[in-house]
Every structure is written in structure tokens, then in C-alpha cells.
Structure 1
Amino acid sequence: MICAVYKSSRKQETYLFIEKRDDFTKVPDALMAMFGTPILVMMLPLSKRDHLGFADIEKVKSELVDKGFYLQLPPPVENLLEAHKTDIGYNPD
């Protein structure tokens, strides 16, 4: 299984995996409007890989078959100050 991977022109670290290069017919219009102009990053042979950087490869494959696309969103931004306060047991009360 080969898929095309596009990055968003509007949202940093947001990627769209589709089954066939330049075929966005299965991607909802609202998603395409939010995504902006797709920028081709690579053609990716999923059958020759056992993992991906930030996405679960089995979920990517499954959603490509079921929906015709997979949207990879960036990881949530961690508030390092709050994490540090929690780690040290800081409680202002």
C-alpha cells in the first residue's frame, strides 16, 4: 500500500495521508478548507514500514481503507511550568 502525504499550508505539523496522489475526493470539504493548499511531502510505501514517526501505522492503514484519508494533528503543547509545579508538589493554597 502506497499513500501520498501532504502537509498543511495553514496548520503547522498537520499532515494528510491519502490513498492516491492528488485525489482529495474522499476528504470532506470542511477539512480541506481548514487544511489549506496541500503541499506534497512524499509518497510513502506503508507495506514496507513497521512504524511511523508520530502516527500509529496500523491506524493510518485502517483509516485509509475505511475513510480514504488519515489526518495527523500535531501533539498538544505541554505547559512546562505547570508540569514542573506538579512534579515538585507546588500548591499555593
Structure 2
Amino acid sequence: MHAYVYKSQRRADTYVYLAARDDFERLPDALRTRLGPLQFVLDVALVPGRSLARENPDEVRANLLGRGFHLQFPPGAAVDPMSEDWGTDA
């Protein structure tokens, strides 16, 4: 199975995987509006054993088969600010 990956020009670090190249009709109108223009960035073969940097490939394949698209959101920014080294040894 192939996935065609597009980057949202409006929402940072947000990507859309499509089962068919340029098949934007699969995306609900409200989602297309929120994402804004999409720029093609990658054609990837989702073969068994393939890993992806931020997504579970099994989940991506299931979403592509079920609805024709998969959304990848930015990684969470839930980092404890107290875990950083602030340069004080007090």
C-alpha cells in the first residue's frame, strides 16, 4: 500500500496521508478549510515492517483503508518545564 503525504501550509507540523495522490475530496470540507493549502512532500510504501518517524504504520494503513486519509498532528508539547537545566545549582 502506498501513502501520499502532504504538509499543511496553515498548521505547523500537521500532515495528511492520502491513499490516492491528490485525492483531497476524501477530506471533509471543514478539515480542508482548517488545514489550508496542502503541499506534497512524500510518497511512501507502507509495507509490513516499515516504520514511520511519528506514526504507527498499522494505524495509518487502517485509516487509509477505512476512510482514505490519516492525519498526523504535531508532537505534544507536554514537557515538564522543571525538568530543564536552568543553570542554577542552588
Q: Could you say which TM-score interval applies, normalised by the shorter chain? A: 0.7 to 0.9
The worse-fitting range, judged by mean Cα deviation, of 72-81 and 11-20 is: 72-81
State the percentage of identical aligned residues. Answer: 33
Could you tell me the TM-score, scaled by structure 2's length? 0.85
Structure 1 residue aligned with 2:83: 84
| Aligned CA-pair RMSD | 1.7
Cα offsets for 1:26-70 (capped at 9, x unmatched): 110111101110000011111265210000000000000001100
Q: Is residue 16 from structure 1 mapped to residue 16 from structure 2 by the alignment?
A: yes
Gaps of 5+ in 1: 86-93
More helix by share: 1
Q: Which residue of 2 aligns with 1:29?
A: 29
